[in-house]
Chains A and B, each alone.
Chain A
Amino acid sequence: MLSITCAGFGGQGVLTAGLILAHISMIEGKRITWVPSYGSEMRGGTASCRLRIGDSEILNPFFTTMGALVAMNHDAVTRFEHSVVKNGLVISNSTMVKDHAFRGDIRVVEVPATDIAASLKNPRGANITMLGATIAATRLFPVETFADGIDAYFAKKGRNNPLNRECFLRGAAAVAEV
Chain B
Amino acid sequence: MPLQLMKGNHALSEAAVRAGCRFFGGYPITPQSEIPEYLSARLPQSGGIFLQAESELAGINMVYGAAAAGFRAMTSSSGPGFSLLQEGISYIASAELPAVIVDVQRYGSGLGDISQAQSDYFQATKGGGHGDYKCIVFAPASVQESADLVVEAFDKAEEYRNPCIILSDASIAQMVEPVLLPEERGIDPDKAWAVRGKHGGEFKRVTSTMYYIEDFDAYIKNKYDTMAHNEQRWESVHTEDADVVLVAYGISSRICKEAVSEARAQGIRLGLIRPITLWPFPVNAFSGLEHVKAFMTVELSALPRLDEDVKLACEMRVPVRHFLGGVSIPDSSVITEAAIAILKEQR
Which A residues fall within an 8 A CB radius of B? 19, 22-23, 26, 31-36, 38-40, 58-64
Q: Decide: B174 and A38 in contact? CB cutoff 8 A.
A: yes
Q: Decide: B171 and A59 in contact? CB cutoff 8 A.
A: no
Question: What are 24 A-B interface contacts by the 8 Å CB criterion?
Answer: A19-B176, A22-B176, A31-B178, A33-B177, A35-B174, A35-B175, A36-B174, A38-B114, A38-B115, A38-B170, A38-B171, A39-B114, A58-B177, A59-B258, A59-B261, A60-B254, A60-B332, A61-B171, A61-B175, A61-B177, A61-B254, A62-B254, A62-B255, A64-B331
Leading 5 A-B pairs by shortest Cβ distance: A60-B258, A34-B176, A59-B258, A59-B257, A35-B175
Q: Decide: A34 and B175 in contact? CB cutoff 8 A.
A: yes
Q: Decide: B5 and A60 in contact? CB cutoff 8 A.
A: no
Given the known interface contacts A26-B3, A35-B171, A59-B261, the answer about A40 and B114 at a Cβ–Cβ threshold of 8 Å is yes
Q: Decide: B177 and A34 in contact? CB cutoff 8 A.
A: yes
Q: Decide: B258 and A32 in contact? CB cutoff 8 A.
A: no
- Inside 8 A of B329's CB, which chain A residues have their CB? 62
Residue B31 at the chain A interface, CB threshold 8 Å: yes
- What residue in chain B is nearest A63 (Cβ atoms)? B331
Smallest CB–CB gap between B11 and chain A, Å? Answer: 13
Assembly CA distance A62 to B176 (angstroms): 12
Q: Decide: B171 and A40 in contact? CB cutoff 8 A.
A: no
Residue B113 at the chain A interface, CB threshold 8 Å: yes
Contact with A along B153-180 (1 / 0, CB 8 A): 0000000000000000011001111100
Given the known interface contacts A60-B332, A64-B331, the answer about A38 and B176 at a Cβ–Cβ threshold of 8 Å is no
Given the known interface contacts A40-B113, A62-B329, the answer about A26 and B254 at a Cβ–Cβ threshold of 8 Å is no
Smallest CB–CB gap between B162 and chain A, Å? Answer: 32
- What residue in chain A is nearest B173 (Cβ atoms)? A38
Contact with A along B328-339 (1 / 0, CB 8 A): 010110000000
Assembly CA distance A64 to B334 (angstroms): 11
Assembly CA distance A33 to B254 (angstroms): 12
Q: Decide: B261 and A32 in contact? CB cutoff 8 A.
A: no
Q: Decide: B258 and A33 in contact? CB cutoff 8 A.
A: no
What class of interface size applies to chain B in its complex with A?
20 to 34
Assembly CA distance A61 to B210 (angstroms): 47
- Inside 8 A of B31's CB, which chain A residues have their CB? 38
Smallest CB–CB gap between B214 and chain A, Å? Answer: 51
In the complex, besides A59-B257, A60-B258, 18 extra interface pairs with C-beta distance below 8 angstroms are A19-B5, A22-B176, A26-B3, A26-B5, A26-B178, A32-B177, A34-B5, A35-B174, A35-B175, A38-B114, A38-B115, A38-B174, A60-B332, A61-B175, A62-B171, A62-B254, A62-B255, A63-B331
Contact of B254 among A32, A34, A36, A59 (CB under 8 A): A59
Contact with A along B164-198 (1 / 0, CB 8 A): 00000011001111100000000000000000000
Q: Decide: B175 and A33 in contact? CB cutoff 8 A.
A: yes
- Inside 8 A of A61's CB, which chain B residues have their CB? 171, 175, 177, 254
- Inside 8 A of A23's CB, which chain B residues have their CB? 5
Q: Decide: B115 and A39 in contact? CB cutoff 8 A.
A: yes
Q: Decide: B255 and A33 in contact? CB cutoff 8 A.
A: no
Given the known interface contacts A22-B5, A40-B113, A60-B254, the answer about A33 and B331 at a Cβ–Cβ threshold of 8 Å is no
Smallest CB–CB gap between B121 and chain A, Å? Answer: 20
Smallest CB–CB gap between B59 and chain A, Å? Answer: 24
Q: Decide: A33 and B257 in contact? CB cutoff 8 A.
A: no
